[in-house]
Amino acid sequence: MAVDFETRAAAWAHHLLPAGDRPESTARGVHHAAFICSDVDRTIGFYQGLLGFPLVELFENRDYPGSAHLFFDVGNGNLLAFFDFPGYEHPEFHETLGGVQHVAISMAPERFVELKARLADGGVTYRGPDLGVENSVYIPDPDGLQIEICTAPLLNTDFD
């Protein structure tokens, strides 16, 4: 079923204030976003080894004894966190209401070029720039979570 975005967007337009009229955010930024992983070693290999996000914390999850809680530095004081839940049967990842479509992480253009070379050298397949966006790639993590790496500066939605 085709949906007319322009008609839908017109109904929401009153929410988007001109830049000069917007109030300052009450937040300082995203401290961390937490996800679940099935294998701590594979997760560390992907985020630290392949993407270059240093592992900065690893401790036991306070809510689930025996579970790991790990944090990766994604720059500017922002973290990606993961839990594992040993003994829990994890369903296959899929996009759904209330779920995650993807996580977009900004990377300096020179680091982006280095990442694409590492991906090519490692035989890692990714989506992009075939999607019409030159400076963005999508890579599934070991559990299927889509990670977008883009060169758009923070607080900028112009991905071209």
pLDDT digits 0-9 by tens, 55-94: 999 999 988 899 999 999 999 999 999 999 888 887 777 7
Q: Which residues contact 1 (CB under 8 A, 6 or more apart)?
A: none
pLDDT band for position 128 (50/70/90)? confident
CB of 35 within 8 A of CB of 82?
yes
Domains of the chain: total: 1
User: The whole model's pTM is what?
Assistant: 0.85
Residue 78: give the domain boundaries: 30-86+98-150
113-122 pLDDT per residue, tens: 999 999 999 8
Q: In the predicted model, is pLDDT for residue 132 greater than 90? A: no
Is 126 contained in some domain?
yes
Is 114 contained in some domain?
yes
**What's the CATH number where 79 sits?**
3.10.180.10
Q: DSSP letters along 45-66, please?
A: IIIIIIS---EEEEEE-TTSTT
Is 157 contained in some domain?
no
Report phi then psi at 139, rounded to 5: -130, 125
Is 155 contained in some domain?
no
